[in-house]
Every structure is written in C-alpha cells, then in structure tokens.
Amino acid sequence: MPHAHLFSHVATWVFDLDNTLYPPEARLFDQIEVRMTAWVMQALGIAQPEADRLRKDYWAKYGTTLAGLMQVHGVDPAPYLTDVHDISLTHLKADPALAAAITALPGRKIVFTNGSEPYARRVLKARGLQDTFDAVFGVEHAGFRPKPERAAFETIFSAAGVEPGQAAMFEDDPRNLAAPHAMGMRTVHVAPTPAPADHIHHHTADLTGFLSRLS
C-alpha cells in the first residue's frame, strides 16, 4: 500500500499509456504486433518467421521495434507509426473511476508513450481520459528515441518543464523505470505481477486504487 507522504513532493505525474492506462487484458498489443510483423515483412521483403524474430530482437535491443528498424534499415518512422497503430479500440471501456483518481492528483499530469501522440489520444478518448491530462507526448516528440533511453526522457521532460526530483513515473515495463529512477523520480510499476528491482519504488496491479490513496 502506498504511503501518501512519499508522494507529497510530486508536482508532475507522468504516465505510460499501453498496459498502464488500460488493463493488459485489453490486449491491444496483440493487434499492434500483428501489424508490426506485416509491416516488417513488406518493408524488408522477408517471410513472417524472420519478421517476427526481428520485431522481438529489435524490441529487446533497441527499446522498440521501430528504433531497430530506423537504426539498422533507415526506416522512415512516420508511415510505420501510422500503420501499426491503425487498430480497433472498440472493446476499450471508459473508466470514470480512473479518470477521477487522476484528476484528483495535485499538480500536472502528462502521458509519455513509445507509441504516437494520435494513437495515444485515441486510446485516452476510448478510456474517457481525454480531458484528464495536461499534455500527451509520443515517441515523435522524443526525436523517435524510445524509452528506456535516458535521452528520450530528458527530451520530453525538457519540453514539458518537468523537474524529475518533483515527479513520479507510472509504467508497466520495468526497464522503462530505470532512467526515471536514476533521474530522481518516484517510480511505480503498474502490472499484474511485481518485478522487484532496486529502481522500482512501488508496485500495483490496481492503478485506480493506488492513486486514490495518494490524493
């Protein structure tokens, strides 16, 4: 259970998007991964097994499949981001309780995702969170450098005027909390299963409940 006093210094609340502001059970990434594999097959002229292998290897090595495609193959990121995020959100449900819990937090609230801003705004609207955040940043705003790279966080935080020592980061991917921790942020891992690590201060499988105990 979080102790509210540990967050009393927080003036900016930074949230990841996928599997953080909606439950993993929505499985949006299943759709995205299918589109990523198809895009890699077409762009590189390779068969599905090799495209799947590259997609996974680039994610592990570079932070995102896109980062690997850009670095190794010189891929133009804009068409890729448009294509892979062209997915159905019809099964996402609005979450008034989560919206209320985020709204009640003191200070600014921003989203920073490795997806694109247009995709993020579509998801936020589907979740009823479109009026909850002060700013939404996609990977394009970080110069297409993805989390977990520290440079990506530094670019976004500079643009947003975020002071890391007065901020908290909420993420489903444990590796994406390492740089925020090193920068002085309070870190919260949002996932069904804990991933104990020195750079993770808190874990929750219930974001709404966690936040409601902080405001």
**Would you say residue 40 has pLDDT above 70?**
yes
> Would you call 187 helix, strand, or coil by DSSP?
strand
**Cβ contact 182:72 at 8 Å:** no
DSSP class of residue 145 equals: P
**Residue type present at position 45:** G
Predicted pLDDT of residue 162: 97
**Fold assignment, 4-22+92-212:** Rossmann fold (3.40.50)
> Is the pLDDT reported for residue 3 higher than 90?
no
Taking the C-alpha atoms of residue 173 and residue 197, their distance in angstroms, rounded to an integer, is 12
Confidence bin at 82 (pLDDT 50/70/90): very high
Read off the tokens for 107: 């200070």
Q: Residue 2 pLDDT more than 70?
A: no
Structure tokens at 28: 């949006």
For 89-134, how does the pLDDT look when each residue is reduced to its tens digit (9 = 90+)? 999 999 999 999 999 999 999 999 999 999 999 999 999 999 999 9
Using the predicted structure, report yes or no on whether residue 198 has a pLDDT greater than 70.
Answer: yes
Domain boundaries, the chain: 4-22+92-212, 28-84
Contact indicator for 16, 112 with CB cutoff of 8 Å: yes
Res 201: pLDDT: 97
CA distances from 19 to 31, 153, 178, 192 (A): 13, 19, 18, 10
Q: Which CATH architecture has domain 28-84?
A: Orthogonal Bundle (1.10)
Read off the amino acid at residue 154: E
For 70-139, what is the HEC assignment?
HHHHCCCHHHHHHHHCCCCCCCCCCCHHHHHHHHCCCCEEEEECCCCHHHHHHHHHHCCCCCCCCEEECH
User: Is residue 11 a contact partner of residue 190, using CB atoms and an 8 Å limit?
Assistant: no
Question: Which pTM does this prediction carry?
Answer: 0.94
Residues 50-76: pLDDT tens digits? Answer: 999 999 999 899 989 999 999 999 999
Mean pLDDT for the stretch of residues 78-93 = 94
Closest among 101, 122, 150 to 17, alpha carbons compared: 122
- Interval 139-185: pLDDT, tens: 999 999 999 999 999 999 999 999 999 999 999 999 999 999 999 99
Dmax over Cα atoms in the chain, in whole Å?
55
Quick one: pLDDT band at residue 1, thresholds 50, 70, 90?
low
pLDDT at 16 over 90: yes
